[in-house]
A and B are shown apart, each in its own frame.
Chain A
């Protein structure tokens, strides 16, 4: 009762699992370094150990495949090998990565170029990335959203949101 096809390790998954493992090890290391006491480690030590152990098990399954004995999990392993990442709908990996990158850039640049400008650029760029080609629609949506949210930030929030021009414009009205 063996597998029907050769098991191909999913290297992306392994990388991710390794990342998680690295986090656990790093976290436990710094926590123990800060204070090697019972009260400090009472929860995170066992939790971290179990999680690390599970990750090692998962990694070994990924590399070596499952034992033929467990038929149910063999079915699962097969389906893993056949449909590696069929989770998301239709966006290509490149589009998704670009979207994530844009979002990251948006958040990081807010303190430097202001929420108003950052929102305008982000909405415009994202609309373009996701397929909006009508320039009028694109620019008006980007402008509209940037204006609306900047207004909300200026009037409602108790903390001053970094702005480039919105504040000056608003006060001159």
Chain B
């Protein structure tokens, strides 16, 4: 599985390429800082630095870009935890438990947990990549629309898990999120619901919509508060507590491992990015836990699961990018452009001809993990001071920053306007107990569910059973889906029956 010769040559490459190492630290710092600004995603940062990579060697530019990606994967967790506003969709699930922890004054702990989980998830996934890049990329090829559909449905079942007080209202949220996700061009080119605006042809922009939904719920509602943490004595930044959080994360190795595996495997699937991995890892951890009702109220495991999931998805998407030349999302598309800037045609033969470069990237990313711990600690120490800033200053600043970020990616006012509309919607939803996270899940997954559903219909010739019979992987996925949905209720029902029959005796 390991190509020893390529490994040797990669060590040689890394040893002689000083610029690659010099760029790693600024890359991580840039990613973290950028990610911490809600609305500024790693794709935006990568797009900004793309022209600069012209001056760098191939290895340096890829290392610089993955460093940014790595830094951003953690950076987005910072506002998610401190303000309940995820820096990007990749930290949606992090905010579910991270923000309640901040409200209790446990922000230092939460940040430490997130940093450790992010680092461990990231490094662990790259270990998997190191040994299994060939296996992962071949597995990705084996997944057809039916398998992808089942995976997406698995993600959608999250909506049921994310309910607020009312199951019905959360379901409505999720379903409306799915509907909104289908606005624009359908997979068969029917224009739906765009009000004749060409800007909506590609659908509602997800990042501004999500920022609007979350920012509104929290920022508008904070209008009367003075500070994010109401008790003044808890309003401190304590490095010691942050470090304790980091150590605490190690007490939940299974949670980290679960997130790691999820990100490394499905993170590479085109269209499945950090956002989906973040949510799925959270949902699975919650489902398998003895006290699922404690999630969403400040359970540390929630933060760990979410961060481990999203950090490890980078390795997954690098697998498909390097081994197959397929970009998984906006960020890897920019990396693909960087590859072509250096006259590299990516594709399966890249792995064969430039394995040493691939190994060098993987090895560098191990080190990136260690660097991130150090930089992250420093950055958290700095940024956690946000909680000492009065809310009346935070609100306008965050709103303006988010507007800046959502304009930057699309270059027109569609982003900021979407943010305003969804801000209003999110506030109304929160007011009447319609789960906002459920809507976001629907929004993120809706389009892909439809595309895969339609393709499954097309490829099976209109639901011909013969197609389904010949797909063992799909059967396995279906069983897994049913198991994770129903295993818990069935166990509970079984236990109740046994105790009932025991009592009857």
Would A and B touch once assembled, by the CB under 8 A criterion?
yes
User: A103 in the interface, Cβ–Cβ < 8 Å?
Assistant: yes
Evaluate contact between A88 and B224: CB separation under 8 angstroms. Answer: yes
Q: Besides the contacts A42-B450, A111-B413, what 4 more A-B pairs have beta carbons closer than 8 Å?
A: A31-B193, A58-B168, A89-B223, A159-B412
Contact B224 A92, beta carbon cutoff 8 Å: yes
Task: Count how many pairs of residues, one from A and one from B, have CB atoms less than 8 Å apart in the complex.
Answer: 185
Assess whether B192 is in contact with A31, with CB atoms less than 8 Å apart.
Answer: yes
Of listed A48, A76, A126, residue having the most chain B CB within 10 A: A126
Q: Does B400 contact A (CB under 8 A)?
A: yes
CB distance from B463 to the nearest CB of A (A): 11
Contact partner of A159 (CB less than 8 A), chosen from B411, B420, B453, is B411
Decide if A43 touches B450 in the complex (CB within 8 Å).
Answer: yes
Residues of B with C-beta under 8 A to A131: 392
> Nearest 8 A-B pairs (CB), nearest first?
A91-B224, A91-B223, A159-B411, A90-B224, A130-B392, A88-B221, A51-B175, A126-B396
Q: Within 8 Å of chain B (Cβ to Cβ): is A107?
A: yes
A26 to B279 Cα, complex, angstroms:
30
Partner of A51, one of B48, B172, B432, B458: B172
Asked whether B220 lies within 8 Å of A16 as measured between CB atoms, the reply is no
B42 sits at the interface (CB 8 A)? no
CA distance in complex: A100, B433 (Å): 19
Q: Which residues of A contact B224 (CB under 8 A)?
A: 88-92, 95
A39 contacts chain B at the CB level, 8 A cutoff: yes
Q: State how many angstroms separate the Cβ of B442 from the closest Cβ of chain A.
A: 9
Give chain B's interface residues, CB within 8 Å of chain A.
47-48, 165-166, 168-169, 171-172, 175-176, 178-179, 182-183, 186-188, 190-193, 216, 220-225, 391-393, 395-397, 399-401, 403-404, 407-408, 411-413, 416-417, 419-420, 423-424, 427-428, 430-433, 446, 449-450, 453-454, 457-458
A53 to chain B, nearest CB (A): 10
Q: Is the pair B450, A123 in contact by a Cβ cutoff of 8 Å?
A: no
> What's the nearest-Cβ distance from chain A to residue B359, in Å?
33
**Is the C-beta of A168 less than 8 angstroms from some C-beta in chain B?**
no
Which chain B residue lies CB-closest to A94? Answer: B223
- Give which listed residue, A44, A54, A103, contacts B179 with CB less than 8 A: A44
Chain B residues with Cβ below 8 Å from A54 are: 168, 171-172, 175
Are A57 and B430 neighbours in the complex by a CB distance under 8 Å?
A: no
Closest A residue to B225 by CB, please name it: A89
Contact, CB under 8 Å: B395 / A130 = yes
Query: Which of the residues B166, B411, B433, B453 comes within 8 Å of A42, measured between beta carbons?
Result: B453
Decide if A96 touches B221 in the complex (CB within 8 Å): yes
The answer to whether B413 touches A16, judged by C-beta atoms less than 8 angstroms apart, is no
Contact A39-B454, Cβ < 8 Å, known A20-B172, A44-B182, A106-B403: yes
| Chain A facing B: main interface SS | helix
CA of A38 to CA of B250, assembled, Å: 51
Q: A90-B224, A158-B411 are in contact. Are A34 and B191 (CB under 8 A)?
A: yes
18 contacts between A and B (CB under 8 A): A13-B432, A24-B176, A31-B190, A31-B192, A35-B190, A47-B179, A51-B176, A85-B431, A88-B221, A90-B224, A100-B424, A107-B413, A107-B417, A126-B392, A149-B400, A149-B401, A158-B47, A161-B407
Which residues on B sit within 8 Å (CB–CB) of A158?
47-48, 411
Query: A52 vs B489: C-alpha distance in the bound complex, in angstroms?
Result: 27
Q: Kindly state the separation between the CA atoms of A96 and B217 in the bound complex, as whole angstroms.
A: 11
A158 CA to B51 CA, complexed, in Å = 11
Tell me which of A16, A141, A159 contacts B428 (CB under 8 A): A16
Chain A CB count within 10 A is highest, among B166, B192, B423, B453, for B192
Least distance between A157 CB and chain B CB atoms (Å) = 5
By a CB distance below 8 angstroms, the chain B residues around A40 are: 186, 188, 190, 192
Contacts of A119 in B (CB 8 A): 400
B423 contacts A103, C-beta separation under 8 Å: yes
Q: How far is the CA of A24 from the CA of B188 in the complex (A)?
A: 21
A99/B190 contact (C-beta < 8 A), A85-B431, A145-B397, A158-B47 known: no
Q: Are B221 and A87 in contact (CB under 8 A)?
A: yes
Distance of B457 from chain A, by nearest CB (Å): 7
Residues of chain A contacted by B193 (CB below 8 angstroms):
27, 30-31
CB of A113 closer than 8 Å to a CB of B: no
A101 to nearest B CB, angstroms?
10
Q: Which residues of B contact A24 (CB under 8 A)?
A: 176, 179
Query: Could you say which of A58, A95, A111, A141 contacts B169, with CB atoms under 8 Å apart?
Result: A58
Q: Are B192 and A30 in contact (CB under 8 A)?
A: yes
A136 at the interface (CB under 8 A from B): no
Residue pair B392, A127 in contact (C-beta under 8 Å): yes
Establish whether residues A130 and B400, one from each chain, have CB atoms under 8 Å apart when the complex forms: no
A97 and chain B: residue at smallest CB distance: B220
Q: Using known A-B contacts A34-B192, A99-B223, A103-B423, determine if residue A20 contacts B411 with beta carbons closer than 8 Å.
A: no
**CB-based nearest B residue for A146:** B400
Known interface pairs A34-B192, A107-B419. Does A42 touch B397 (Cβ–Cβ under 8 Å)?
A: no
Does the CB pair B404–A149 fall under 8 Å? Answer: yes
Instruction: Determine which of A17, A23, A152 lies in contact with B404 in the assembled complex, contact meaning CB atoms within 8 Å.
Output: A152
In the complex formed, the residue of B with least CB distance to A38 is B457
A164 contacts chain B at the CB level, 8 A cutoff: no
Closest-by-CB residue of B relative to A39 is B188
Closest to A107 in B: B416
* Bound form: Cα–Cα A91–B395 in Å: 13
Tell whether, in the assembled complex, residue B225 and residue A107 are in contact, meaning their CB atoms are under 8 Å apart: no
How distant is the Cα of A90 from the Cα of B392 in the complex, in angstroms?
13
CA distance A57 to B412 in the complex (A): 40
Among residues of B, the one whose C-beta sits closest to the C-beta of A161 is: B407
Q: Which of A132-173 contact B (CB under 8 A)?
A: 132, 141, 145, 149, 152-153, 156-159, 161
